[in-house]
Amino acid sequence: MTEKPEIKKRIFISDLELRQNPGNIPENAIISPLSRDWMDYEGEVAGGRSQVAGRKPETSARPEEELRKQIVEIGRRLYALGFVPATDGNISVRLGDGSILITPAGVSKGALAPGDLTNLGMDGRVISGKKPSSEYRLHLCVYKQKPGVMAVVHAHPPLATGLSCAGVALDQPLTSEMVIALGAVPLAEYATPGTDEVTESIAGLLKDHDAILLANHGVMTCGRNLETAFQRMETVEQSAKITLAASLAGGGRLIPPDKVRELEKIRARLGL
Ligand SMILES: [Zn+2]
């Protein structure tokens, strides 16, 4: 008779638990993807505080070449979804030295190459590469106000942008996904694209939000990595579709307030 392999009890560690007690994570813990991103970020920017219980982080800080490839990949996905037609939209990531990589002006996000990207200092100075996207001020504003953010995506997904033209924010609890994955998405006041007006319009909203509708313009999302920022953009457009469908069908019935509080607890537990 063969012996059954021993199954060790494994403990799931949320992003919040890791932040609250970073030096005491058990060896057999399962660390959520978001927690790993945070560990990567800490290791990359803050000098290796991501060491947990005597073992190395499961993933290391991503090198610049890999981040360049990721921006190209996300550009293709945004273009394929119809979120960035023509030369619309822009994408950036924060590098370990505090500068950013951002897409250049006037280039289709569906046809980017890794070498096309611009390296920009936090003062807006071009370190290397082509002329940056005209919305670089928006990106710098997000990185300055949100130290945990490693990636910013700005796009013009048609339904979310349409709602922004109608003055409709995505801040009503219509689906659990909207509450858990996104939280309320506010509508920033109209600002002329590519000017400091854009940063002024979002500055007061950044503290509490990772996704913002820009009136008569588009959407900004950010996150601890590029994939998260991209997925938030997808979820914003999905939420816009659902909001529109509910409106066409006679108006949405909102999730009851006590149930919204339950969902908000789940969101906090997941560290979203
Ligand atoms: Zn735009």
* CATH number for 195: 3.40.225.10
Percentage of the chain exceeding pLDDT 90: 74
- Mark which of 60, 77, 100 sits at the end of a domain: 60
Query: Quick one: 147 and 26 in the same domain?
Result: no
- Domain contains 30: yes
Query: Quick one: 265 and 222 in the same domain?
Result: yes
Ligand 1 centroid to residue 183 C-alpha, Å: 22
Ligand 1 centroid to residue 152 C-alpha, Å: 13
Q: Examine the pLDDT at 212 and tell me if it is beyond 70.
A: yes
φ, ψ dihedrals at 218, nearest 5°: 175, -145
Q: How many CB atoms lie within 10 A of CB 12?
A: 10
In the chain, beta strands by DSSP E: 11-13, 29-31, 90-94, 100-102, 118-120, 126-128, 151-155, 187-188, 211-214, 218-223
Ligand 1 centroid to residue 128 C-alpha, Å: 23
Query: Quick one: 51 and 124 in the same domain?
Result: no
For ligand 1, a single-atom ion, which residues have Cβ within 5 Å?
A: 218
The type of residue at 253 is R
Query: Quick one: 102 and 54 in the same domain?
Result: no
Mark whether 73 is an active-site residue.
no
Ligand 1 centroid to residue 190 C-alpha, Å: 12
Ligand 1 centroid to residue 112 C-alpha, Å: 17
Which one of the listed residues 135, 177, 234, 262 is annotated catalytic? 135
For 90, the domain range is 62-270
Ligand 1 centroid to residue 219 C-alpha, Å: 8
Query: Quick one: 203 and 266 in the same domain?
Result: yes
In degrees, to the nearest 5, what angle opens at C-alpha 101 toward C-alphas 95 and 105?
170
- Domain contains 15: yes
- Domain contains 1: no
- Domain contains 4: no
- Please report the pLDDT score of residue 247 as a whole number: 95
φ, ψ dihedrals at 209, nearest 5°: -140, 145
- Bridge partner list, 120: 100, 126
Query: Quick one: 36 and 100 in the same domain?
Result: no
Q: Please give the model's pTM, rounded to 2 decimal places.
A: 0.79
In 61-150, beta strands by DSSP E: 90-94, 100-102, 118-120, 126-128
The model's pLDDT over 1-31, given as tens digits with 9 standing for 90+, comes to 555 555 455 555 555 555 556 555 555 565 5
Total domains in the fold of the chain: 2
The model's pLDDT over 111-150, given as tens digits with 9 standing for 90+, comes to 999 999 999 999 999 999 999 999 999 999 999 999 999 9
- Domain contains 243: yes
- Domain contains 6: no
